[in-house]
Amino acid sequence: MLDDVKKKMADTSKDIGDNVKIVKKTISDTASSATSLAKGAIDTVVLKIATQIIIKSMKTAAKRGFTYIHNDNKYQSVIDRTWELLPLPVRLVGKDSLDFNNNMFFARDTIFGKDEEEPTVDDKDKGFMTNLVNKMFE
């Protein structure tokens, strides 16, 4: 009789463990779907505004010079402030799901890496930022 109880408890534990795995996968899948839906729901006007805000932030950083731009802590403050200024629909997608920090550091290296005398944001840089923002939402 004791063996039957132990077997039944073991079977129940296994069933519970299987159900927990199913629930975890469902939650993960739902979160991924929600992120995809949110990214897809961002309209082109919002993306254009976000791009303009990012470009303006990059121009502001450029005015502070290379010493400021290449200091990761100071540049992180530019990233954080830029994030706060972005339209709500963009921020609702989430900083992590857009990989915003890494993309902004990549943008820094790409935009200012070619500048020799002083950092600038030119028309090619604006095109680059437009493409980068659009890729974040693919």
Asked if residue 87 has pLDDT above 90, the reply is yes
pLDDT over threshold 70, residue 39: no
* Sign of CA pseudo-dihedral 121, 125, 127, 129: negative
DSSP E strands, the chain: none
Q: Are residues 36 and 53 in the same domain?
A: no
Mark whether 2 and 59 lie in a shared domain.
no
Instruction: Assess whether 58 and 6 both reside in one domain.
Output: no
pLDDT tens profile 52-82: 999 999 999 999 999 999 999 999 999 999 9
pLDDT tens-place string over residues 112-122: 988 888 999 99
User: Apex CA 10: angle with CA 6 and CA 11, to 5°?
Assistant: 120
- Tell me which residue range forms the domain holding 11: 1-41
* 96, two tokens: 């992590």
- Structurally, the chain folds into a number of domains equal to 2
**Same domain, yes or no, for 84 and 130?**
yes
Residues 116 and 48 in one domain: yes
